[in-house]
Amino acid sequence: MTPEAKNSASDDMQIHVVKQAYYEPEYVGLEYRKLWPRVWQMACREEELQEVGDHVTYDIGNESIIVVRSSPDTINAFHNVCRHRGRRLVDGSGSMASFPCKFHGWRWSLDGQNEHVTQIEDWCGTLDDQDLSLPSIRVETWAGFVFVNFDADAETLLDYLGEAAETLDPFRLDTMRYRWRKWLKMPCNWKVALEAFNEGYHVAITHFQLNRFGASKFASRTAGKHGTFYADTSDTLSNSMKGSHTKKSPPPGADVAATMAGFTDYLKSAIDSNGSDSIRYAAQVLPTLVTSEMSPAEVSGKMMEIAAGIDEKRGVPWPSITMEQYQKAGTDWHIFPNMVLLPMASNCLGYRARPFENDPDSCIFEVYQLERMPESEVPTTENLRNDDIYDEDFWGEILLQDFQQMEGTHKGNKSSSYARPQLNPRQETTLNHFHRVYHEYLND
C-alpha cells in the first residue's frame, strides 16, 4: 500500500453519503442555494473564445451566464438577463459585436455596459446607469478552461484547485484543443453520473473486456476539495502506459508491445480517447522495435518516445513531464464539484455533470476529448447531443457500459431497504470525500 493510499484509507472510515441527496427535491434546492453559487465551475474552454465577441452561455439551474471575450486580453462573465424585463439575451454560443435584446431592443456592449435603450426619452432621465449594466460574476482561467464563480468573496481559482492544478500543470492542457464533444440528458442525478467516473473500482467488472489488456486495480486519495485515483499495481498496462517503473519480473517485451498495440486500437474504437493518433501509430510499430528483454516500463517508454517524436515533427512537442509527475498525476482527477479529467501527455478525456433544471432524477452529462494538435489541424467541433444511452456507434462500448450503471444505481438508491453505500476504503475514497466536501457546503 502506498503511503497516500494508507492515509486515505485510515483517515476517514465514516461514510459521508446521505442517500436522499441523490433524489430528494429539497437537495436540488439546497445545492442551488448553497453549493453552485459558491464553487468554481468550468464554463467553457478558452479556445471557444478566440476572437473579440466570441461567447458561450453556461447554464446552471435558474442562472444563465454569458462568458465573452470582451477584448483581446479580457474574458468577462455576465448574467444573461435583459435589465428591462428579464428576457434571456443570448442562447448557445457564437460571435456578436454586442448583445441586443430581441424583445424591445435594449443593447449591451461586450463589456456589459448598456449602449441603447429604445425610446429612452420616455423614462425622463430616471434610469440609473448602474441598473442598466449587466451584472458580472467572477471569471478566471486555468489550463485553457474558463471557470466562473458567483461568489465575489471566493478564494482564487488557483487556491481552490490547489494540488490538483499543481499536479496537472505539467501536462499543459492549455495547449490542447477539443477533438470532439458530446452530451446527453441522463436519467439520473448528476452526482450518480459523476461518480461513475470518480473511482476505478468498477473497471474490472463494468469494463470486463479491458482485463485482457492487463487487469487493473486502483487506489484513491484526496487532494484538498478534490480527489484522484491511480493504478494500484506496478505491472498493469494502464500504469506502464504512463511509463512507470515495475518491480515485478517483466513479461517478454514483445508481448507487452503487442498488448499495447491491441489496447490503443481498442481504445480508439471503444471511446476514441485515452490516446492520440501519435500514440496509436507508435503502438502499431512498437512490436518491431522492442526486444524480449525489455521491461514493460521500457516498452512503454519506447512507445511514448516514438509518439512524442511524431508530435514534435507535427509541430506540437510534448511538454517535459518527469516520471514522478506522471505517477503523481495517476489516472483520473475529480475537480470538485462536477469535473473529471483523465490527463495524458498528448490528450485528456474530460467529463462534466450538472443538474437538469429542478429535477433530481436527471442531469446534463458531457464528455470531451482534448488533444495536442497543430493549429492547422484543429477541427471545428460541435457539442453533439444524443440521449440514447444504447447507441454504441455514437458513444462507444466503454461509455455505454458506464451509462448502463447510472439509471439502475439512481433508482436503487431510493429503495427502502438501502440506507447508505458501503464504500471501498482504498478505492472509493474520492467518492466519500466528495460527499464530505459537498455537505460542508450545504451545511455552511
Interface segment toward ligand FES; rule CB under 6 A; list 36-44, 99-107, 183-191, 395-403: 99-107
84 or 202: whose CB is closer to ligand FES?
84
Q: Interface residues for ligand FES in 105-134 (CB under 6 A)?
A: 105-106
Residue 356 sits in the site that holds ligand FES (CB under 6 A): no
48 or 402: whose CB is closer to Fe ion?
402
Residue 87 sits in the site that holds ligand FES (CB under 6 A): yes
The span from the CA of 247 to the CA of 234, in Å, is 7
Where would I find the H helices in 215-344?
Answer: 237-241, 253-270, 277-285, 296-313, 323-329
Residue 415 CB contacts under 8 Å (≥ 6 apart), including other chains? none
Residue 402 contact partner, candidates Fe ion, ligand FES, none, CB within 5 to 8 A by sort of partner: Fe ion
The span from the CA of 70 to the CA of 74, in Å, is 6
| Centroid of chain to Cα 14 | 27
Residue 101 contact partner, candidates ligand FES, Fe ion, none, CB within 5 to 8 A by sort of partner: ligand FES
The span from the CA of 351 to the CA of 296, in Å, is 30
The span from the CA of 352 to the CA of 191, in Å, is 10
174 or 397: whose CB is closer to Fe ion?
397
84 or 207: whose CB is closer to ligand FES?
84
CA angle 371, 372, 375 (to 5 degrees): 110
Q: Name the amino acid, one letter, at 87.
A: R
Residue 181 contact partner, candidates Fe ion, ligand FES, none, CB within 5 to 8 A by sort of partner: none
Residue 85 contact partner, candidates Fe ion, ligand FES, none, CB within 5 to 8 A by sort of partner: ligand FES
Among 12, 34, 46, 103, binds ligand FES (CB under 6 A): 103
The span from the CA of 241 to the CA of 169, in Å, is 19
Residue 64 sits in the site that holds ligand FES (CB under 6 A): no
Among 34, 84, 88, 439, binds ligand FES (CB under 6 A): 84
Q: What is the separation, in whole angstroms, between the first and last Cα of the chain?
A: 35
Interface segment toward ligand FES; rule CB under 6 A; list 81-89, 382-390, 399-407, 429-437: 81-89
* Contacts to ligand FES by CB under 6 A: 82, 84-85, 87, 101, 103-106
